[in-house]
Amino acid sequence: MKKAGIADLVLHGGYAPQWLVKRMINLSKNIFSIIVDECGPSQALVRLSSPIFFQAFSNVLGFDWNSSGSTTVTCNTLKQGLKEVDLGIKGAGGKGKYSRMAKGEIGEICHEFELPEEDVKRIRYASKMAAKVDNTAIQDGHQLYHHAIFISNDGDWTVVQQGMNPDKKMARRYHWLSKDIKDFVDEPHQGIVGERIQKVLNMTAHESKEAREISVEIIGDGVNRFRRLYDSLRTNQKLITEWINKKDDIIPDVERNYDSYSVKLGRMNWKAVEKAWKLEPQNYEDLLAVEGVGPATIRGLALVSELIYGNAPSWKDPVKYSFAYGGKDGVPFPVDRKAMDFSINLLEEAINRAKLGDREKYSSLRHLADWRRKMEEI
């Protein structure tokens, strides 16, 4: 079964100090230079798309395992590091206003890699849909504020983006990989990592397949019919628990607890619904791609599908850490600058020797990794 990847992270304020950012850029550049030299650009994207690899990578650069900054600064330092070397991988987007620059940067990267215009359109569409899915099709209370996409010279891509829930002071990270996506609305994410599990409307779950199909059919039936069905859910109805509680009067000393959930229907954008109906979407991805179709529309369609037609969507939340040199906040210990600089120099020496044909240090690093895995098995 394919897994969907999500990470819950604690929102941290402040900035990484410049002396650390400079080292992060050098270290990330050297790490990916070796990965690309060993595996190639596309496989480097596979590593980056893994939430577990990304978590370990950010910790090596100096982040707490559950810091929200581990996403934004790690992506930015890697993006900056990749600008300094020709590895066949470049990054676009970032946090806040930089996320909105992704479209233009994608065009620049594709032009640099001499990719055809079809690839530019395809990658821009992927960037847009990845954001639309995680903001709308997965409703977990986190609003996206960071979107980064890394592109290889053969047109592969991986997206790393993050949403924020300021009320809970939590952030959540989403990982995508082009090679593993059959479509954008059926289990599209890569890997799984997380901390908390909550009730989530997940229209990308395989279990939501019938609910997705019914949603498209409802749109095809016209705006007026959908409005009638939607309004019928908003009328006051007696709850079955009222009848059960009356029965409890017979046995007053028995305490009863009932599982339940409630979902705010939200404000429906009927103009967007009408626009979707006129465009005649052939599948759920087409529907989701319609401009203006947001969380309230998707939620309303899902609830009509479940409560009226009996096709329930998934309400299950699709939801492991490491330190190397310490954390930027001094947790669990302050960053060891000498150890970090030594590692940077070691990796640079290994890269330079490999370019001259001497791969002995590469082999030593590989043997060290094999030894670590064996120790973990003991």
Answer yes or no: do 210 and 285 share one domain.
yes
Residue 12 lies in a domain: yes
Per-residue pLDDT at 180:
87
Per-residue pLDDT at 2:
44
**DSSP-assigned letters across all residues of 96-157:** GGGGGGHHHHHHHHHHHTT--HHHHHHHHHHHHHHHHIIIIIEESS-EEEEEEEEEETTS-E
Answer yes or no: do 107 and 223 share one domain.
no
Indicate the residue type of 246: K
Answer yes or no: do 18 and 160 share one domain.
yes
Residue 313 lies in a domain: no
Residue with tokens 């983006």: 161
Answer yes or no: do 164 and 20 share one domain.
yes
Answer yes or no: do 194 and 45 share one domain.
yes
**Alpha-carbon 16 to chain mean position:** 23
Answer yes or no: do 44 and 16 share one domain.
yes
Residue 351 lies in a domain: no
Total tally of structural domains belonging to the chain: 2
Q: Are strands 138-139 and 201-202 parallel, antiparallel or unpaired?
A: antiparallel
pTM attached to this predicted model: 0.76
Helix or strand or coil: residue 93?
strand
Answer yes or no: do 148 and 277 share one domain.
no
Answer yes or no: do 295 and 329 share one domain.
no
Residue 69 lies in a domain: yes
Per-residue pLDDT at 285:
97
Answer yes or no: do 178 and 48 share one domain.
yes
| Residues 96, 207: Cα–Cα separation, whole Å | 33
Closest Cα partner for 160 from 305, 53, 86?
53
Residue 16 lies in a domain: yes
Residue 360 lies in a domain: no
Series of mean pLDDT values for 10-residue runs along the chain (378 residues): 49 68 88 89 90 79 62 92 96 96 97 97 97 93 93 97 84 89 91 64 95 96 93 61 47 43 66 96 97 94 91 78 44 57 62 61 53 46
Structure-block tokens of residue 329:
């906040």
User: Helices 337-355 and 360-377 sit at what angle, rounded to 10 degrees?
Assistant: 130
Per-residue pLDDT at 281:
96
Residue 367 lies in a domain: no
| Residues 27, 22: Cα–Cα separation, whole Å | 9
**Half-sphere exposure for 182 (CA within 13 Å, toward CB):** 5
Closest Cα partner for 211 from 310, 295, 343, 123?
310
Residue with tokens 């330190």: 323
Answer yes or no: do 153 and 220 share one domain.
no
Answer yes or no: do 148 and 216 share one domain.
no
Per-residue pLDDT at 248:
47
**Enclosing domain of residue 242:** 206-253+262-307
Answer yes or no: do 228 and 169 share one domain.
no
Residue 187 contacts by C-beta under 8 Å, 6 or more apart in sequence? 2, 3, 4, 204, 205, 206
Q: Are 314 and 205 in contact (CB under 8 A)?
A: yes
Residue 345 lies in a domain: no
